Amino acid sequence: MLRFDDLALRRGPLLLLEHVDLALHAGWRVGIVGRNGAGKSSLLGLIAGELQPDAGHFERPRDWTLAFVRQEVAALDRSALDYVLDGDIEFRQLERDLAKAEDEHDGHEIGTIHERLYAIDGYSAPARAGELMHGLGFSSADETRRVKDFSGGWRMRLNLAQALMCRSDLLLLDEPTNHLDLDAVVWLEGWLRRYQGTLLLISHDREFLDAVVTHVLNIADQKAELFAGDLTGFERKRAERLIQHQIQYEKQQRERAHLQQFVDRFRAQATKARQAQSRIKALERMVDIAPIRAASPISFEFREPKKLPQPLLVLDDVAAGYGERHVLDHIKLNLSPGDRVALLGANGAGKSTMIKLLAGVSSPLGGNRTQARDLAIGYFAQHQLEQLVPTATAVDHIKRLDESIGEKDARDFLGGFGFSGDRALEPVEPFSGGEKARLCLALTVFQRPNLLLLDEPTNHLDLDMREALAEALNDFTGALVLVAHDRSLIRTCCDTLLLVHDGCVE
């Protein structure tokens, strides 16, 4: 098991965890949840041996094989299949030992190695690696492609496949669905449910967690609390406990007020002085019950668009692609205020091509794209996080959109996105991925669009922010086109599904 005894963990001067006492048993699949910055990734770093506790003790069985997803991969000339096979360290070592034994004509050693290869199912290793790659969206032809020929997102999939290839006792996954499309997310769910080892998983995807985990570890206020069951069960238990806590707090406040009223009234009277003193001591002995904090500091809404023309945008027999290469053909779409559209399809099918066409970032290769004169597009895409000015503050970014806005109004607006206090006045360079995504979303909302185009908006966003986004989208009066692998967000916000596949949209 994994054991934490009175553990404290810091990241620089920031205290993340304190007095953590936990035991995570073999075979559990634990979902780690909490707000961005609470310390979830740092906890995985501690378990992986990359960080050391600042106080207390952490123990992991020495004979456990650990697997985790590397965050970077070099531009290698090796084939993708060979790279994935590297995840099975013992298999690779046996391959090297076998080659050496064959060179030395050591028949006994050759026989011993073949026995071990049989025991670990080594002869099927290439087939298993291919199955992993296929489940994560790679084609058969991709197996022989060089690693360096893949984009960053696809290399992250290779890293995930390599981690899954490892015959591990402990698997650590930090937001594994961020680079996956919906088909791959569903496949990964099934694979993790069959995983025999101990799994620690950070995710903000509600349906993914419900499908996979047996326990939930909630990190908040420097504490880590363990709950048995899935995420929905955890939230139900937590809500019941918070309600009970609030009832106790209000009861104590009434008792405190009653005692204080008696003390204030009779302290000066000699006949009541003893009773007043006993009540003062009762007040001193009373252990304070803290009031419940607001469930989430994040709450925002889309400001009413200045105009809502009908229709907003029309695509008539449009072709889309890059240069002269057609990715999509014969697209017909009419977007009006109130439309709620989700684009589904495998990575590479053309979803981003479609949304760039809608945004006007790319021009049609054929057909007609007709937009209303008063069309106001709000376009959110992951690349916008890289376009933030590192030395500028969140307030600075708002002022770039509207020079007339005052600092107080800008900070009030940003507060709804979780940038409270001085955080709105700090440079964005050290912001986490979640904070940068929230800021880009805030900038999109600030522009009062009547057509909202969101390309994977929930990557890096925690559960609180995802729920706030869903609520705001449902009140949005314009049209929405959404690309996401978060099924909960799609179910909550969209009523029209467009499947992008085989060069068409239907």
What is the spatial distance between Cα 201 and Cα 178, in angstroms, rounded to a whole number?
Answer: 13
- The yes-or-no verdict on residue 471 having pLDDT over 90 is no
Q: Which residue has the higher pLDDT, 14 or 46?
A: 46
The pLDDT score that the predictor gives to residue 13 is: 83
Question: CA-CA distance, 375 to 417, in Å (whole number)?
Answer: 25
- Least confident interval from 152-156, 167-171, 173-177, 478-482: 152-156
Rg (C-alpha) for the chain, rounded Å, is 28
> What whole-number percentage of the chain has pLDDT above 90?
60
Is the sign of the CA dihedral 206, 461, 234, 51 positive or negative? Answer: positive
Distance CA 436, CA 444 (A): 12
Q: Lowest-confidence range among 136-145, 298-307, 420-429, 479-488?
A: 298-307
pLDDT band at 271; cut points 50, 70, 90: low
Distance CA 182, CA 205 (A): 12
Is it the case that residue 324 has pLDDT exceeding 60?
yes
- Please state, rounded to an integer, the average pLDDT across all residues of the chain: 88
Average pLDDT over residues 276-297: 60
pLDDT 10s digits, 26-83: 999 999 998 877 889 999 999 999 999 999 999 999 999 999 998 777 778 899 999 9
At 319, is the pLDDT very low, low, confident or very high (cuts 50, 70, 90)?
very high
Question: How much is the average pLDDT of 159-180?
Answer: 93
